[in-house]
Amino acid sequence: MIHAAVLSGFVLAVFAPAIQRRWPKAGSWMLSLLPFGLAVLFASHIGEEPVRESTAWIPALGADLAFRLDGLGLVFALIISAVGAFVLIYAGGYLKGHRHLGRIQCFLLLFMASMLGVVLADNLVALFVFWELTSVTSYLLIGFDHEREKSRAAALQALLVTGFGGVAMLAGALLLQQITGTLSIEGVLGQGETIRAHALYVPALLLILLGAFTKSAQFPFHFWLPNAMEAPTPVSAYLHSATMVKAGIYLMARLSPALGGTDWWFGLLVTGGAVTMLAGAVLAFGKSDLKQILAYSTVSALGMLTFVLGIGGEAGARAAVVLLIAHSLYKGALFMAAGAVDHEAGTRMIEDLGGLRGAMPVTAAAALGAAVSMAGLPPLFGFIAKELFYEAAEVHPVLLACAVATGILTVGAAGLVAIRPFFGRAVQTLKHAHEAPSSLWLGPAALAAGGIVFGLFSGTAAGGLVAGAASSVAGIPVTAELGLLHGINLTLLLSAFTAVAGVALYASADRIRPLLRPVVGSLAWGPAGWYDALLASMMRFATFQTRLLQNGLLPHYLRVTLGMAILLIGVALVRGTGPPQKNLLTDVRLHEAVVGILILAGAFSSVRATSRLAAITSLGVVALGLAMTFVLFGAPDLAMTQFLVETLTVILLVLVIYKLPAYTQKSSDRTRLRDAIVSVIAGSLFTVLVLGVTSMQLAPEISDYYIENSEKLAHGRNIVNVILVDFRGLDTLGEITVLSIAAVGVYALLKLRPHKEEPS
Amino acid sequence: MLDSFIPSWAELLRFMPEIILSLVGSLLVMLEPVTGPKSKSMLGHVAIAGLIVALGATFVAHANPGAAFSSMIVVDGFATFFRVIVFTVGILTIFSSYQYLDREGSNRGEYYALILFSVVGQSVMVVANELIMIFIGLEISSIATYVLAGFLRDDKRNNESAIKYFLLGSFATGFLLYGIALIYGATGTTDLGEVRQAVLQSAEPPVLLLSVAAGLMFIGLGFKVSGAPFQMWTPDVYQGAPTPVTAFMSAGPKAAAFAIFLRIFVTVFESVGDRWEPLIWASALASMTIGNFAALQQKNFKRLLAYSSIAHAGYVLVALTARSEIGTASAMFYLAAYALMNMGAFAVIAHVAGKGETTVDVSDFAGLGAKQPVTAALLTIFMLSLIGVPLTGGFFGKFYIFKAALESKLLWLAILGLLNSAVAAYYYLRVLVVMYMEEPSARTENLEPMPMSLQAALWLPAAGVLFLGIFPSAVLEFASASARLLGQ
């Protein structure tokens, strides 16, 4: 059943463009039936026992296509399918008549299916596969409006940052497998004790958090999210508020029973979350573009989620789940409302907007409903979320102070997005605004209504859902008795204070926001700055390294190869027994020494020669010396061959010498000195090596066999002859044949020569 | 004694693919002079037919595994796996060559013959069970490839490419031969199994000679697989050679060289494994880093892929460093996936290159997404696979390699490798950005439609890459089983 639920999105995605083309008006409504159906299906599971389904995929790797639907997965799956349905409808209205509407619907469905895969997968590899698919589809969706340079850059940035995090997460998952021996998430969760006590715990935790922090836009990786607002609004509403950015949160929540509860976990998550939520809230309040305000307030909300997950325990788990649901409801609604405003009024800058409530009453009401939830005012679901948020933060006064500060700033930002454009003095907008079509207001209205229903009837509507999810997060059964009233306590007092301070902040927004501008500038571009700096330094390193290693000169390449050989042999010799201990000079006879000196002199003069002829002659001397050595040590046949080959070589060289360009000295003295050093070292090492080999007892069998058998079997005393014509007779025949064919070839080439080459 | 010189039918059967290809190659050389200038492509078809028959013979041979010719060669799962890779690479190369050669006015029969000879060499390498055979195979493959690199002999870059490849290649081969000589010196045999036995049974193994031999062979093989620090020739040669030949070089000879790398290092040198492991470790890291970072700044697509091939060699070296069954299996899987995705990517370049390869910059691919959406989509698959995005073969290849590294406690190498693959994403993605999101270039505006042959050279590897990415199990298990036998 879960397999079908996840995979159906992929299948429908393939047909989406065709459906959209066939029914341009109703297409998106029809497409939305699938996510609606899925949402109903998931909703029917609330309160039931977890279900697990598994199909073998790659047994060798321990990677199964396993899915598990439990409380946490259910919450996410519901958000993904329900918001997905509204976003599909919304996109149909927002991009009406766009030539690529079908394609964007296809991408949205692909994304939805991948995202369902992420939150339902019960195998770390399967999870990673879906995780990367969300990154890729998000890249396609952000880069959708690709005529704009900024859009392209943003798409690439988002993919690079999240892709980098994904890779880190995969490494972390593999480490977890090293620790636990399984890739099944259920299996990993069952071994929390082992994992936390293991030496690889900290590396694994850091890598997984790197994945989660980049995906969920935590400081200092948050910069990609606001930049990704280049995407069309339906995409921002879906990916960048309700779902994809919460994948990192999902991962942390999912693994918290196994990885959580340690000092590392607490320190990293609480610090990261606190910085993110405060910085996000300040930036949101300082921005003027509606989508940017929403983007930064999303960053802030993600920070809150990380923060409460870091605190952990029952309170943390409960707060995380409720914040998550509330945020998806109100932020999705606000993004869609902002898009509707942009669509109808032609601008998203709050300075240019005002008094739209008359023209767009439904949108205004939806936005207001969502904003009240965002501000955390009763009786909306956001209020309960904020109460639980404060309650979780009560573990330490400093944390509580951070939480309240974030709460106040959030109230201010909520005012900016929902009060400023719709209420107050009407402003002349770019386009003459009127109410958006139903496809554009249905989504925000439904989601905002959800916030009200969940708030008023929290016990019945959300209790079971929250309890199940919070139990998954905490790893122990958690109850959730949600309600608007809990009596007078600290959190209620703080809520009241937040509301008052927040309203005051909003009232004085025009005075405070200009003051924030320098802060906004530095905070916003600081981390994006490190991204740019990192890219730039990567590029600098690339250039430097390429210049150093890749100058295109053959001698340089040869030098490196030879240098490596010297290094390897040298190291091996030093680490081994050292060069062979043998007195080498005892039995040298005079004529041997003379030949040796001759060879050396020849070699020396060939490199010092100033003309080509002299160089060739000197080389000839070296060769003759070698041949003499063969003679002296009893290998006349080898000497003969050497003589012949050398003579032939010298003749050939002399033949072509007049065709060659003038002889010039191309290398400087320094290069020559360096080359001399390299060659002397290389030569010496190889000499040592040869000596080492000769001092060893080689396997004697082969020569013995021929010595013994040449007369007995082949009736010949000259062993070399016997080998050539008898033992290896067939080889010789083959050689002769090849040589003859080669000779025929050469003859043919010589005959061809007089012809002028035909122009081809 | 004479009996042992006459091979049995079973032995001939095991060597049948090489026999077939050698015969077809010779046939092509003989047919070339009697084929009219317009019908040279027929010779290519014959070559493809020969390769397909050889593929069939490979499977027949695989059904009768065992050694042949006094144990000079051995047909095992490992050999079959790599035979299939190099034959497939040969087929894909010829498919992507027709249009290219016609455009350059150099569609000549010896091209196809040379491809076959080179493939024969690689095939000999992967079935060789003996150092001399390995050397012979390597030389057959290399010499044919040297010629192919300079096939367009009036083209200056072809000449530069061929001469650099030839000079450095022969230099490196010298080291390999030296290493072989030392092994023979140390053990008195060149048969891999006997060498291994000699080392294992000897009371006092000749560690010094073996480690020097390992070092020397590492130089020779490192060159062939473009592992650092012997990678320098790669960009110059890849850029200069005709694009289909570059594709061929980056896949076939490389896979075969890695095959013998694996065979030699996990069998013969296993006893001195502690000594060469740091070496391969460093080489793997250096290859990944040099390749990926250098690729960041490349404007020429061929050069970019050349650097990327260095980086990919680094990933495979990571698998070798693991020195385990799963390491060997992951290297095999990766090489298969890499051969497919790289062949595909180069086939697109061969299409866009234009006469004289004047348009091979990444910027020349601008607007390909709008002008030829199918070509662009296929190139996207190859690029994503090169990055290692899930559902492509490249992903499981990489995943498997890093898993092997972690299981062998190579934590740092694995992490640095993964970071490297994140850097690599940048330059592959840039190609996609240019292709889809920029205004069409002068070249893509007037791009001719793709001929059938080139489409085959794209669709086949694309299907393969996706198959390996979605249903990797069968291939993975085959590789694991072969790797297990190899280590015994």
CATH number at residue A573: 1.20.120.1200
In a domain, B31, yes or no: yes
Least Cα distance to A250 among A78, A56, A11 occurs for A78
In a domain, A605, yes or no: yes
Residues A591, A665 within the same domain: yes
* Yes or no, beta carbons of B437 and A693 under 8 Å apart: no
What is the Cα A239 distance to its own chain's centre?
18
Q: Does A693 touch chain B (CB under 8 A)?
A: yes
pLDDT band at A411 (very low <50, low <70, confident <90, very high): confident
Mean pLDDT value of segment A109-118: 91
| B275: closest CA of chain A, how far (Å) | 9
| DSSP strands (E only) in A446-593 | none
Q: What is the pLDDT of residues A694-727, one digit of tens each?
A: 666 555 556 677 777 777 887 877 777 788 788 8
Residues of A in contact with B218 (CB under 8 A): 568
How far, CA to CA in Å, does A270 sit from each of A252, A326, A489, A509, A711? 12, 21, 24, 29, 90
Average pLDDT over every residue of B351-376:
88
Of A507, A533, A562, the residue at which a domain comes to its end is A507
What's the domain range around A616?
Answer: 554-698
Which residues 516-575 in chain A show a CB within 8 A of chain B? 535, 538-539, 541-543, 545-546, 549-550, 552, 554, 556-558, 560-561, 564-565, 568-569, 571-573, 575
Hey, are the CB atoms on B215 and A565 less than 8 Å from each other?
Answer: yes
**A584 plus A570 within the same structural domain:** yes
Q: Is the domain of A503 the same as that of A574?
A: no
What angle, 0 to 180 degrees and rounded to 10, lies between the N-to-C axes of helices A247-259 and A263-286? 160
Q: What whole-number distance in Å separates Cα of residue A257 and Cα of residue B145?
A: 58
Q: How confident is the model at residue A147 (pLDDT cuts 50, 70, 90)?
A: low
Contact state of B472 with A58 under an 8 Å Cβ cutoff:
yes
Q: Is residue A622 part of a domain?
A: yes
Is B473 close to A203, i.e. CB distance below 8 A?
no
Least CB–CB distance from A545: residue in B171, B294, B396: B294
pLDDT number for residue A43: 83
The verdict on A492 and A382 lying in the same domain is yes
> Do strands B66-68 and B73-75 pair parallel, antiparallel, or not at all (unpaired)?
antiparallel
Instruction: For residue A549, list chain B residues with Cβ-Cβ distance below 8 A.
Output: 232, 290, 294
Band the pLDDT of A524: cuts 50, 70, 90: low
Contact call for A696 and B403, based on CB within 8 A: no
What residues of chain B lie within 8 A of the CB of A174, using their CB? 402-403, 406, 414
Domain count, chain A: 3
Cβ–Cβ of B433/A143 closer than 8 Å? Answer: yes
- Give the Å distances, CA to CA, from A442 to A92, A436, B4: 12, 10, 86
Statement: residue A611 has pLDDT above 90: no
Among candidates A129, A549, A565 on the partner chain, residue whose Cβ is nearest the Cβ of B175: A565
Is A418 in the same domain as A497?
A: yes
Q: pLDDT, tens digit, for every residue of B81-107?
A: 999 999 999 999 999 999 999 999 888
Contact B332/B486 with Cβ under 8 angstroms?
no
Any CB–CB contact under 8 A between A737 and chain B? no
Q: Do A569 and B403 touch (CB under 8 A)?
A: no
Q: Is A678 on the interface with B (CB under 8 A)?
A: no
Enter the DSSP assignment of B441. P
The reply to whether ipTM tops 0.90 is no
From chain A, pick out residues whose CB is under 8 angstroms from the CB of B406.
174-175, 178
Of B193, B185, B213, the residue nearest B72 (C-alpha): B193
Q: Within a domain: residue B447? A: yes
Measured CA to CA, the distance from residue A105 to residue A91 in angstroms comes to 8
A&B contacts, CB < 8 Å? 179
Do A643 and A734 lie in a common domain?
Answer: no
Predicted confidence (pLDDT) per residue in A21-54, tens digit: 888 778 788 888 888 888 888 888 887 788 888 8
Q: What is the pLDDT of residues A290-302, one digit of tens each?
A: 888 888 889 999 9
State yes or no: pLDDT of B246 exceeds 80.
Answer: yes
pLDDT score for B347: 95
| Inter-chain touch B437–A152, beta carbons under 8 Å | yes
Q: Which whole number is the average pLDDT over B300-324?
A: 94
Residue B390 has its nearest CB partner, among A60, A132, A143, at: A132
Task: List pLDDT tens digits, range B405-436.
Answer: 988 888 889 888 888 888 888 899 889 888 88
Nearest Cα residue to B390 out of A497, A613, A128? A128
Residue A129 in any domain: the answer is no
Closest CB to A60 among B206, B223, B480: B480
Closest-CA residue of B relative to A579 is B208
B1 found inside a domain: no
The reply to whether A348 and A479 lie within a common domain is yes
Longest alpha-carbon distance in chain B: 73
Chain B: closest CA distance from residue A745 (Å) = 12
Report chain A residues whose CB lies below 8 A from the CB of B325: none
Tell me, yes or no, whether A226 lies in a domain: no
- For residue A377, being part of any structural domain is answered with yes
Residues of B in contact with A565 (CB under 8 A): 175, 215-216, 219
Contact A648, A614 (CB under 8 A): no
Counting residues of chain B whose pLDDT is more than 70, the rounded percentage is 99
User: Which of A130, A552, A569 shows the shortest C-beta gap to B236?
Assistant: A552
Nearest Cα of chain B lies from the Cα of A262 at a distance, in angstroms, of 23
pLDDT tens digits for A98-113? 777 888 888 889 999 9
Name the closest residue on chain A to residue B164, using Cα atoms.
A554
Q: Decide if A699 touches B, using CB distance below 8 A.
A: yes
- What pLDDT, in 10s, does the model give residues A658-669? 777 777 767 778
The reply to whether A584 falls in a domain is yes
DSSP letter for each residue of B361-387: BGGGGTTHHHH-HHHHHHHHHHHHHHH
Average pLDDT over residues A151-175: 84
Q: Could you tell me if A333 and A362 are in contact, meaning their C-beta atoms sit under 8 angstroms apart?
A: no
Q: Are A389 and A319 in contact (CB under 8 A)?
A: yes
DSSP letter at A726? I
Domain membership of residue B62 (yes or no) is: yes
Of residues B440 and B379, more confidence is placed in: B379
Is the residue at A202 inside a domain? no
The end-to-end CA distance of chain B, in Å, is 29
Cβ–Cβ gap B219/A549 under 8 Å: no
CB A317 within 8 A of CB A470: yes
Domain shared by A603 and A648, yes or no = yes
Question: Residue B389 is nearest to which of A136, A539, A701, comparing CB atoms?
Answer: A136
- Segment among A196-205, A375-384, A598-607, A685-694 with least mean pLDDT: A685-694
Q: What is the pLDDT of residue B100?
A: 92
Q: Are the Cβ atoms of B294 and A550 closer than 8 angstroms?
A: yes
Q: Which residues in A lie closer than 8 A to residue B216 (C-beta atoms)?
A: 565, 568-569
Lookup: tokens for B338: 């890499």
Using CA atoms, how far residue B107 sits from B23, B110, B152, B246, B353, in Å, is: 21, 9, 10, 17, 16
- Using a CB–CB cutoff of 8 Å, tell me whether A125 touches chain B: yes
Mutate to test the interface with A, among B230, B238, B296 (most CBs of A within 10 A): B296
**Domain range for B284:** 9-486
Residues A684 and A567 occupy one common structural domain = yes
Mean pLDDT in residue range A373-399? 84
Question: Hey, of A100, A169, A170, which one would you mutate to test binding to chain B, going by the most B CBs within 10 A of its CB?
Answer: A170
Min Cα separation A551/chain B (Å): 9
Residue with tokens 């290809």: B21
Within 8 A of B233 by CB-CB distance, chain A residues are 557
Q: In chain A, which residues have their Cβ closer than 8 Å to the Cβ of B436?
A: 143, 146
A375 is written with which tokens? 């501000």
Return the pLDDT at B1: 47
Residue A14 lies in a domain: no
> Residue A467 pLDDT > 60, yes or no?
yes
Chain B CB contacts of A568 below 8 Å:
212, 215-216, 218-219, 279
Confidence of residue A760 (pLDDT cuts 50, 70, 90): very low
B91 is a domain residue? yes
Provide the pLDDT for residue B364: 92
State the average pLDDT for chain B: 90
* pLDDT tens-digit map of A415-425: 888 888 888 77
Model-wide pTM > 0.95: no
Q: Is residue B402 part of a domain?
A: yes
**Closest in B172, B230, B473 to A59, CB measured:** B473
Same domain? A694 vs A704? no
The model's pLDDT over A187-233, given as tens digits with 9 standing for 90+, comes to: 888 888 888 888 889 989 999 999 999 888 888 888 888 777 777 78
Q: Is A760 an 8 Å CB contact of chain B?
A: yes
Q: What is the nearest CA distance from B384 to chain A, expressed in angstroms?
A: 10
Q: Which of B426, B427, B434, B439 to mutate to test the interface with A (most CBs of A within 10 A)?
A: B426
Query: What per-residue confidence (pLDDT) applies to A372?
Result: 85
Q: Strand pairing partners for A58?
A: A63
On whether residue B4 sits in a domain, the answer given is no
Over range A722-749, report the average pLDDT. 84
Chain B positions touching A535 (Cβ under 8 A) are 426
Q: Percentage of chain A with pLDDT > 70?
A: 92
Structure tokens at A553: 């000169």
Chain A residues touching residue B470 (CB < 8 angstroms): none
Please determine, for residue A64, whether its predicted confidence score (pLDDT) is greater than 50: yes
Provide φ and ψ at A64, rounded to 5°: -110, 155
- Interface probe, candidates A557, A728, A752, chain B, greatest B C-beta count within 10 A: A557
Looking at CA atoms only, how far is residue A182 from chain B in angstroms?
A: 13
DSSP A687-718: HHHHHHHHTS----HHHHHHHHHHHHHH--S-
Same domain, yes or no, for A369 and A357?
Answer: yes
> How many structural domains compose chain B?
1
pLDDT tens sequence across B11-51: 999 999 999 999 999 999 999 988 888 888 899 999 999 99
Strands B66-68 and A63-69: unpaired
Cα–Cα dist A196/A137, whole Å: 34
> Does B3 fall in a domain?
no
A468 shares a domain with A423: yes
Q: In the predicted model, what is the mean pLDDT of residues A123-127?
A: 89
